[in-house]
Structure 1
């Protein structure tokens, strides 16, 4: 059995679907599975022996000048469809067309899909409700056609990997049979886990810093976080790390430079951000299983998250505190509690740090192979 995979975009070494796909396949290969990955291109630091790239590394700058990303994606899919051997399982990631799903299905191969975020029907409902509450025109870009397309792809899939309980629930609501859903997680690299002495230095600080990491916009609930931070009125600093989405600028910018709120533009060096932080805050309205949450475990950071922001990784009262994104009283209380109670911060931080090993990519990949093998063994002929 070969897990023949496609993610028809650039495979990043920094984050995003291509990064997660690459890490999972490397871990699955290390656990004994035969894998390969068809991608349009990759970052130098992401190159793996199982890659089948449409653009060689040396030709990448020229390739993207000569043809569009969409054209390279279509070419990658064409190469992928021609690559199948008899016993191959198709493992399909984001941005792959339904034509490829149909071609592989008609050829008789088992299809395993990856649902990075909640089903778009769930996403659309959540985001439209929030845009309406704010009196804004929705700019999320999800329409009925894209929802129907996602559902059609899932109908063609035999199995779908879900990275969290929230994603699994959205798939069930969308009509995906529970026996098709293989719930797992994402993970963290060993070199992203801080050293114990780096974490210990936090105890010497007299002022605490809370961080939010990600795209600063309505989907991730930053506008709510700013309101809760001001109401909590704690002694400390809030850092928003990431690019501000245009649709949220008018909601975010009035807070910047006030109430000890600082904006840090997007950076690849999240290690320094986590080293300087004491608490992670993530009130997302919609997510899959955000990688920043896994990084918080590796940094020994206690978290205050929404159920979506926790991504099934943070246990309430274990590695952090969980509050629904619109529960203002609970968020304000949680921020005050975590900033005032050093013993609580220490306990949650220690729990988070210990849990990081569970989510090493090597362990996640092995569990995914075992989950897939068990499902295939129970598959009716």
Structure 2
């Protein structure tokens, strides 16, 4: 009999968490698992990427703000589905673990994929208390970085034997430097920029914690006239970023690309990847950039320092410091030989440490599939 996993999250749309969940569902052994994806609100574009034939989708249509009735709807659904595993993701779904316990779900696992702009350092007293109150209902916590694991065990005093970090994986076939020539052609075509442009790209949802505003300030300080910045993503900050681009007179040097369905067709065509976030878990986009053969400039937050080998695969800078970010980008623009060598080292590191098979083996063991087989 297959293990039935219920995956609970706020909304099943575009994002790093959602991409990881799609890969997890697609790659866990189909002979061992069937899945239900439960969105507290509704389903977006991520649902369209699922090709697994044994997946059901459920939307609880949570209203904005407090909607206590959503937990009653979740309880009734869990009693109907009778899953073997509840796998919840991030703070917004945490309370579902208490509901799952009441509904009799035998194995309850909660994943922490990172923090948001309203709790960058994990010090919010309300959220700390909530995690401690729900902890007795959770059998296992899965942080996606060692930084988050340390925070859970040291700051929240969760028992270390309940915490197992599982670093995100990356699809090494989809994200491949071998696609660079065609990807560059696409990037130049969509932006209309000249062939000699030096393309700096970032990928991520346009919201405040990603701090694209700081990247735009750094773009003003780039010294190479051929430097161009491409921000790939959608989200609530899009209008304000467009306004900032106009105010800083960056038109023609910075491009916002939204509605991109497959970033793998573009990413290898860039020269350099930048991640300006204020907080991260283990950023999937950074792993994808490494797999695509790009050197990276990133803020040293969350699990990022575990991924980037300074002066070998990239450079780290403090968050929210535009001059430091610009200096690191200028360093690569002034030393183009490093673009090639650091990009190749990043690809090698991705191959050695971040392929999906190792990640899936860990989840398979955690969900019970290894014993099941």
TM-score under structure 2 length normalisation: 0.75
Q: Which residue of 1 aligns with 2:189?
A: none
Between the aligned partners of 2:109 and 2:23, the Cα distance in structure 1 is 17
* Higher helix residue share: 1
Pair 265,102 (structure 1): closer, same or farther in 2 beyond 3 Å: closer
Deviations 1:294-314 (A, max 9, x none): 221222111100123763333
Matches within 5 A, 1:84-99: 84=82, 88-94=84-90, 95-96=92-93, 98=95
Unaligned stretches of 5+ residues in structure 2 = 64-68, 185-193
Matches within 5 A, 1:322-337: 322-337=316-331
Deviations 1:26-67 (A, max 9, x none): 33326x854533435673431423423347xxxxxxxxxxx8
Higher mean displacement: 276-285 or 178-187: 178-187
Q: 2:114 aligns with which of 117, 120, 126?
A: 117
- 8 Å CA contact 2:314–2:342 kept in 1: the answer is yes
Unaligned stretches of 5+ residues in structure 1 = 56-66, 129-141, 377-381
- Corresponding pairs, count: 344
Q: Which residue of 2 aligns with 1:231?
A: 221
Do structure 1's residue 78 and structure 2's residue 76 form an aligned pair? yes
- 8 Å CA contact 1:297–1:356 kept in 2: the answer is yes
Between the aligned partners of 2:215 and 2:324, the Cα distance in structure 1 is 12
Between the aligned partners of 1:263 and 1:4, the Cα distance in structure 2 is 37
Q: Which residue of 1 aligns with 2:25?
A: 25
- 8 Å CA contact 2:281–2:303 kept in 1: the answer is no
Deviation at 1:286, TM superposition (A): 1.1
Between the aligned partners of 1:26 and 1:68, the Cα distance in structure 2 is 25
Deviation at 1:16, TM superposition (A): 4.5
Q: 2:237 aligns with which of 233, 245, 267?
A: 245
Q: Which residue of 2 aligns with 1:346?
A: 340
Pair 350,256 (structure 1): closer, same or farther in 2 beyond 3 Å: same
Between the aligned partners of 1:178 and 1:246, the Cα distance in structure 2 is 40
Higher mean displacement: 363-372 or 344-353: 363-372
Deviation at 1:107, TM superposition (A): 4.2
- 8 Å CA contact 2:16–2:283 kept in 1: the answer is no
Deviations 1:296-346 (A, max 9, x none): 122211110012376333322232111111455542331111112122111
SS of structure 1 residue aligned to 2:310? coil
Between the aligned partners of 2:51 and 2:72, the Cα distance in structure 1 is 21
Pair 53,336 (structure 1): closer, same or farther in 2 beyond 3 Å: closer
Deviations 1:155-212 (A, max 9, x none): 432211111123223334233333322111222235522352636997x963311012
Higher mean displacement: 167-176 or 288-297: 167-176
Matches within 5 A, 1:161-310: 161-171=142-152, 172-194=154-176, 196=178, 198=180, 206-235=196-225, 236-243=227-234, 245=237, 248-249=240-241, 251-255=244-248, 257-258=250-251, 260-308=253-301
